[in-house]
Structure formats: C-alpha cells, structure tokens
Amino acid sequence: MTSQSREIIAPVTGVGMDATLTRGGDEAGPHYDKVFGFLREQLLSGALKSGDRLLPERELALRLGVSRPVVREVLRALSAIGVVEIRHGFGSIVRKPDFSEMGDVFTLMLAQQHDAVEDILEARIAIERQAIRLACQRSTAADITLLRSRLAELKATLHDPVAGAEADFAFHEAIIAAAHAPMLESLHAAIAALLRRSHYERRVRITALPELENYLADHHSQLLTAILDRDEAAADALLLSHFAIGATFERQAPLG
C-alpha cells in the first residue's frame, strides 16, 4: 500500500495499543481534548504523514473510547486549519502543509493584540536577514529576473499607496523565494497577511515625504545589487539600514 492510501492511526512503534490509546486515563480531560491531543501527537511524532488516510470515524472513535460526533468535530477543526482534508465517501487525509493558508488564522488571532503590525516587523527582519544572505548564495538567473521585474513595478508605483505597498511586498517576497529555503518561505507565508497590512500602513504614512523616492527606488536597487554581487555582508547591512531608514521616515511622517 502506498503512502497515498496508507491508513494510519496505529500506536507508536514499540508501544502497545492499550498503552497508546488509553494513557492519561482520568486526567485526559474532555473527549475532544483527548482526540485532538492524540492526533496532534501522531502528527508531531511523524506517525501520521502527508498523504496518510486516517481510520474511519467509527473505528477511531471506538479505539479512543469517544463518540463519533466528537471525532467528527476534531476532524472538522483540523480541516479548517488545513491539516487534514475530509473527502466524503473516502475518509480524512493528512494534507501537505500549506503555510500560506495560515495567514488568515494568524491575522484573526492577532487582530486584537495591541501593536500587532509593529511586532510582526521583528519577525520580518529576522526572516529577511537570513533570506537575503541565502539569496546571495543560491539565487538563480530566474530569481534575478523576477527581482528586476519586481523592482521595476516598485519604481512605477512610488506614489500609489495601494499598488506601491503591494509592489514593495512582492519585491521582498522575491528575496525570500531567491533564498530557496522552504522553511523560511513557509514562515513568511504564514505571516504574509499581516506583512501586507504592515507594508500598506507604512506606505500610507510616508507617501508624502520628499525623500520617499530615493529611499524606495535607490535602496531597493542597492539590495538587488548586493545579491547580484553575492555580497552577504553588504546585503545584510543594507537590509538593516533599509528597515532603520523606514522607521525614521515613519517618525517624520505627519500625523493624521
């Protein structure tokens, strides 16, 4: 049986069925938590992998000692966040991770958090600093072509807060792609919705500043040049300067 049709919910290798499915006993908590916790452990341990098919709801409920509606509720929750896919008439399949789908989840979770957009900038800096260093090492001709195209779009939309913010985001997204680092891409994709909002809000605040054109056009051009030169130290220094200058412009921007 291939991994695409492999039915998994067996106990962890080397552990008896009863021990795996009933451990925790009285302290296991509500049945929902019991089912969710068990599936979470199976996913984290690697016992469940992308493409695996879970046992039918009835059998899973029997093995875990809970009702089918509880199992169904957990599976729907996992489906909502993109962990499993429920195929009617076939069963539930573990999905290949798609972190871009987590953007809305993060946005909703952080929407009520004070200064969420400002805080996300710290994560962005950490991701992009590593990405631009890797881009200096790994970028291909296709990556450079994309970066040039994104830079041209950025220069063409300097005074348009909406289109300009999207072009700015797209340029930095192309740097992430040029790193050829799947985990960095996944992390970036997971916070992309908040990053887009951050780009837009910053652009709205600084669009009227006379220094904007030099900052956006020239500095992004310098970032691309550093990647072309394979100069990791220069690229990293320019990126830090890029964020510092942007923060300075925000402080100078008129209120309201």
Q: What is the pLDDT of residues 184-209, one digit of tens each?
A: 998 888 888 888 888 888 787 776 67
- How far apart CA 44 and CA 218 sit, in angstroms, is 45
Report the range of poorest mean pLDDT among 85-89, 143-147, 238-242. Answer: 85-89
Q: Give the C-alpha separation, 175 to 242, whole Å.
A: 14
Higher-confidence residue of 9 and 62: namely: 62
pTM of the predicted structure, to 2 decimals: 0.65
Low-confidence winner among 9-23, 55-69, 109-123 (lowest mean pLDDT)? 9-23
- Relative orientation angle of helices 219-228 and 161-178, to the nearest 10 degrees: 20
For 21-53, b where at least 16 C-beta lie within 10 A, e where not — what string? beeeeeebeebeebbbebbeebbeeebbeeebb
Residue with more model confidence, 195 or 169: 169
